[in-house]
Chain A
Amino acid sequence: AQKITQTQPGMFVQEKEAVTLDCTYDTSDQSYGLFWYKQPSSGEMIFLIYQGSYDEQNATEGRYSLNFQKARKSANLVISASQLGDSAMYFCAMREDDSSYGKLTFGQGTILTVHP
Chain B
Amino acid sequence: NAGVTQTPKFRVLKTGQSMTLLCAQDMNHEYMYWYRQDPGMGLRLIHYSVGEGTTAKGEVPDGYNVSRLKKQNFLLGLESAAPSQTSVYFCASSYAGLAGNEQFFGPGTRLTVL
Give me the interface of A with B, judged by CB distance under 8 Å. 4, 31, 33, 35, 37, 43-45, 47, 50, 52, 91, 93, 97, 101-109
Judge if B74 is at the interface, Cβ distance under 8 Å: no
From B31, B94, B100, B101, residue with most partner A Cβ within 10 Å: B100
Q: Which stretch, B15-23, B42-50, B63-71, B78-86, touches the partner chain A?
A: B42-50
Residues of A within 8 Å of B62, CB to CB, are none
Whether A103 pairs with B90 at a CB distance below 8 angstroms is no
Q: Are A91 and B43 in contact (CB under 8 A)?
A: yes
Which bucket holds chain B's interface residue count? Answer: 20 to 34
Q: Give complex CA distance A106, B43 in Å.
A: 6
Inter-chain contact total with CB atoms closer than 8 Å: 60
Residues of chain A within 8 A of B58, CB atoms compared: 103
- Minimum CB–CB distance from A37 to chain B (whole Å) comes to 8
Q: Are A104 and B88 in contact (CB under 8 A)?
A: no
Which residues in B have their C-beta under 8 angstroms from that of A4? 42
Q: How far is the CB of B109 from chain A (nearest CB, A)?
A: 10
Residues of A within 8 A of B96 (CB): 102
Mark B25-57 against chain A: 1 for CB-CB distance below 8 A, else 0: 000000101010000111111001010000010
**A44 with B42: CB separation less than 8 A:** no
Bound CA–CA A33/B103 (angstroms):
12
A45 to B103, CA, bound (A): 10
Question: Would A104 and B105 count as touching, CB distance under 8 A?
Answer: no
Given contacts A101-B48, A103-B58, A109-B42, contact A47 B31 (CB under 8 A): no
Whether B100 contacts A103 by the Cβ 8 Å rule is no
Q: Is A31 a contact partner of B40 (Cβ separation < 8 A)?
A: no
Chain B, Cβ-Cβ closest to A98: B98
Query: Is there contact, CB below 8 Å, between A103 and B33?
Result: yes
Instruction: Write the chain B residue with the least CB distance to A33.
Output: B100
Judge whether B41 and A108 touch: CB under 8 Å: yes
Cα–Cα distance between A70 and B31 once the two chains are bound (Å): 28
